[in-house]
Amino acid sequence: RRPRDTPKRGMASKAPTTSKRKKATPDEGVNFALKRLRDGQDGRPGSLEEVLQKVKALEAAVKRGAARRTTLEDLKMADEYREVVDRDSGEIAAAIEQVMIAASKSILRGDGFQYTMPSRGATDQVYLDELDRIVLKNKTTQANFASVSSVRKVTILTRVMQLVHGVLSRGIHVTKRDLFYTDVKLFKDQKDSDAVLDDISCMLGCTRNSLHVVASEKGVVVGRLQYQEDGDEIDCTRMGVGGKAIPSNIDKVTNMRSDAKFVLLVEKDAAFMRLAEDRFYNKYPCIILTAKGQPDVASRLFLSKLKRDLRIPVLALVDADPYGLKIISVYMQGSKNMAFDSANLTTPDIKWLGVRPSDLEKFKIPEQCRLEMTAKDIETGHHMLNEDFIKSNPEWVKEINIMLETKTKAEIQALSSYGFQYLSEVYLPLKLAEGDWI
């Protein structure tokens, strides 16, 4: 039996195809999956318990693994690379004062107004296979007020440190947008004040959250998760289709509890809403999370905390294109512009569940639902093949090569060609049942 809204035989449109592959009929893709799915639903053999067998085995493996991640100290490389940690607001305020005292002494010595800052150029950000994440080399550079090339940066740095010191002294949090609007004429563009926040964070050796300057809420979570947020009890099973906004102040999230067997990390809001509305987490105990595209800092911190506190696997559902894989990589290995905080922001060993390039043929996705890759897509795909962490996973390399050879990509929504609930009722259950992740 098909999902409730699966198109009937002969009802699909006959869009022309540019491929020489044999065109699949609407029923072929559905019947292929339904014949293999053993979930005990709609008269099919098996049970929901059978679907979850391989997921439970993966969960057990995660719980058996090391509870603590390898650090630079463990590798005796703490002097070669720089990492930041969460620090108390009083410590950070005192550290800012020390930076300003050092700048004052530099002026009195006749060396001029300057800051010694960590160097964060492209060549300073490297992937360490031993840690499976991007880290920052421990190098410094001088930013001098007397230099034409750095006078503006020194000015913005000074102003932002003054503002951050005031925020910390009051014990409050502000958004990056709030900070920008305190001196619009100086900053001109929010990108300037945002970039300086990362410089200050790295210079003081603290996480960006320790500065009490946060981004606006973006990510959402729903499913089998309860926690406390600043003393308030949150139950993510009672958050409706929209889910619970992931708080910007992750340090206020405590006491996470869950009976979920896995976290489903979803790239797009549309797929998240489909799964939330279908209450996918009731049949298959899980926590569903999305950052609605490129992940923000709060979503990355929240996912890292979920994996660390609950010790359950993370399965990713993204578009079958280079950018979907790039999003997984940011969650796993970190981003280069925040390499100094990768220990806090990364979530190791995320499994790529779908949609994978090989799924397009496996699930007989109709030609009219596939997209031609652009020149930029192809360039990004080749670039990813050169990334060290991609090279270390032969299965990922194989999937990217399929994409580049066929020059074809597809979005998660391509699955809707078989019915709007095909994703939650057929595709994902079959993927889970077969342990089809890499």
Which are the contacts of 8, defined by CB distance < 8 A and separation ≥ 6? none
Query: Mind giving me the DSSP string for 318-378?
Result: --BSHHHHHHHHHHHH--GGGGGGHHHH--S--EEEE--TTHHHHTT--GGG-EEPPHHHH
181 is catalytic: yes
Which one-letter amino acid corresponds to residue 173? H
* Strand ranges in 68-212 using DSSP code E only, listed in sequence order: 81-82, 114-118, 125-128, 133-137, 140-144, 174-175
Which are the contacts of 76, defined by CB distance < 8 A and separation ≥ 6? none
Unique residue bearing structure tokens 């060993």 = 349
Interatomic CA distance for residues 373 and 381, integer angstroms: 10
Interatomic CA distance for residues 102 and 162, integer angstroms: 15
Residue 320 sits at φ, ψ, to 5 deg, of: -85, 70
Interatomic CA distance for residues 359 and 67, integer angstroms: 33
Nearest alpha-carbon partner for 72 in 271, 340, 358: 340
CA separation, residue 165 to residues 27, 177, 185, 206 (Å): 63, 17, 20, 14
Please report, in angstroms and rounded to a whole number, the separation of the first and last CA atoms in the chain: 29
Q: Which two tokens stand for residue 35?
A: 């014949």
Q: Map residue 168 onto helix, strand or coil.
A: helix
Q: Map residue 27 onto helix, strand or coil.
A: helix
Q: How large is the angle between the packed helices 394-406 and 322-333, nearest 10 degrees?
A: 160
Q: Per DSSP, what are the bridge partners of residue 391?
A: none
Nearest alpha-carbon partner for 314 in 293, 289, 338: 289
Q: Indicate which residue of 81, 115, 181, 227 is catalytic.
A: 181
Q: Which two tokens stand for residue 320?
A: 């079958």
Q: Which two tokens stand for residue 337?
A: 């512009």
Q: Map residue 296 onto helix, strand or coil.
A: coil
Q: Catalytic site residues?
A: 181
